[in-house]
Amino acid sequence: MNLDDIALKIEILNRQNLSKSAEITNYTQSALTSKVKKMESEIGQSIFKRTPQGLKITNVGIQYKNYLQLITQEYEEFLQSVGADQVKAKVNFGASHTTIKIYGASIVNALNTNNIPLDVDFTVESSNSLNEKIHNSEMDCALTSKPIKNYPDLAYDTIATETFEVISNDMHIINFDERKPLTLLVLSKACMYTRAVVEWLTNNQIPYNLKEIKSVSSIHDFLQINNSVAVLNTKLIDLYNYTNIHRYNLQLNNVINTVFIYKKNESTQNSILQLKNVIESILEPVEKAL
């Protein structure tokens, strides 16, 4: 059984947009058009309606998609039941810049150590981008701070509660009441931590220049510059053993939930639940320690 071919068919049927499917699968659009024609030839009926707005899946197409998803699940269960330990379910997993730095290595280590049959591909992007990709079926699941927008078709299971800190070098302590221009150092401009601090600075009429730096250790180096502050997850600060820093107690809510995002109608998929269980097993002792 060619699971890759079945996965490609499911992708085409789910997305109903050959141009976008081509971008994601690295096939040409003409190759996917041929694939659609071949599916319709095999079934003897149309799986898409051609409308001015683009492709729209037919009732036959929906039945065919459900059938393909069913045989994929049953085949994987069969292989597991006969002891095919080397067969690994593929999971497209996303994480924000902060969560991947804190938990990425632990997740991979847990998967390898416990011999869990998952082939996890990691994508690192902002929480809002990951949220949209799961909604658009471009990704299976993600671990990130809770995004601003909630889609009704997605589940947002709280996995952990995170805090973030606004810090500077203890030789250059900022007096925010003076409202002098400052540089705000962040891992990601689209991060929820960044949004919270930017909103606080704006509300307090403090001018700032936003500087995105992808390296946690480099942010520590940049704090040597006068009038510089950074916003980072508290666990990251502790993980990287930041020294010579001053922590600010600003009047803002520095608590943000970290959530595991996935489609509600895929909540029973073994692979997604397995990965979620792995992540929960990593986070549980950390949360208890806190």
Domain with residue 243: its CATH number is: 3.40.190.10
The percentage of residues in the chain with a pLDDT greater than 70, rounded to a whole number, is 92
198/241 same-domain check: yes
Domain containing residue 57: 3-81
**Residue scoring higher pLDDT (168 or 90):** 168
Same domain for 169 and 128, yes or no, is no
77 and 103 share a domain? no
Specify whether 107 is located in the same domain as 76: no
Is residue 246 within a helix (H) or strand (E), and if so which, with residue range? strand 245-248
248 with 264, same domain?
no
Domain limit, last residue, from 81, 97, 130: 81
Q: Is the domain of 203 the same as that of 272?
A: no
Decide which of 81, 109, 138 is a domain's last residue. Answer: 81
How many structural domains comprise the chain? 3
pLDDT in the model for residue 112: 83
CATH number of domain containing 60: 1.10.10.10
Residues contacting 276, CB < 8 A, separation 6+: 141, 157, 159, 260, 262
Q: Which burial class, exposed, middle or buried, applies to 187 when counting CB atoms under 10 A from its CB (0-12, 13-18, 19+)? A: buried
CA–CA separation, 199 and 188 (whole Å): 15
> Pick from 81, 113, 148: which residue ends a domain?
81
> Strand pairing partners for 209?
183
Residue-wise pLDDT for 31-68, tens only, equals 899 999 999 998 999 999 988 888 999 999 999 999 88
- Tokens 């471009």 locate to 138
Question: φ and ψ at 6, to 5 degrees?
Answer: -65, -40
Give the C-alpha separation, 64 to 58, whole Å: 10
Query: What is the rounded CA–CA span in Å between residue 211 and residue 259?
Result: 26
Q: How far apart are CA 165 and CA 259, in angstroms?
A: 19
Q: Contact 104/67 with Cβ under 8 angstroms?
A: no
**What values do phi and psi take at 156, rounded to 5?**
-125, 85
Query: In whole angstroms, what is the distance from residue 167 CA to residue 174 CA?
Result: 9
pTM over 0.75: no
Instruction: Place 286 in a pLDDT band, splitting at 50, 70 and 90.
Output: very low
- In this structure, are 166 and 228 located in the same domain? yes
> Is the same domain home to 152 and 280?
yes
148 lies in the same domain as 172: no
What pLDDT sits at residue 288?
42
Is 66 in the same domain as 30? Answer: yes
Residue with tokens 């806190």: 290
Q: How far is CA 184 from CA 42, 173, 216, 230, in A?
A: 59, 14, 14, 5
Note whether 263 and 152 are same-domain residues.
yes
The answer to whether residues 221 and 262 belong to one domain is no
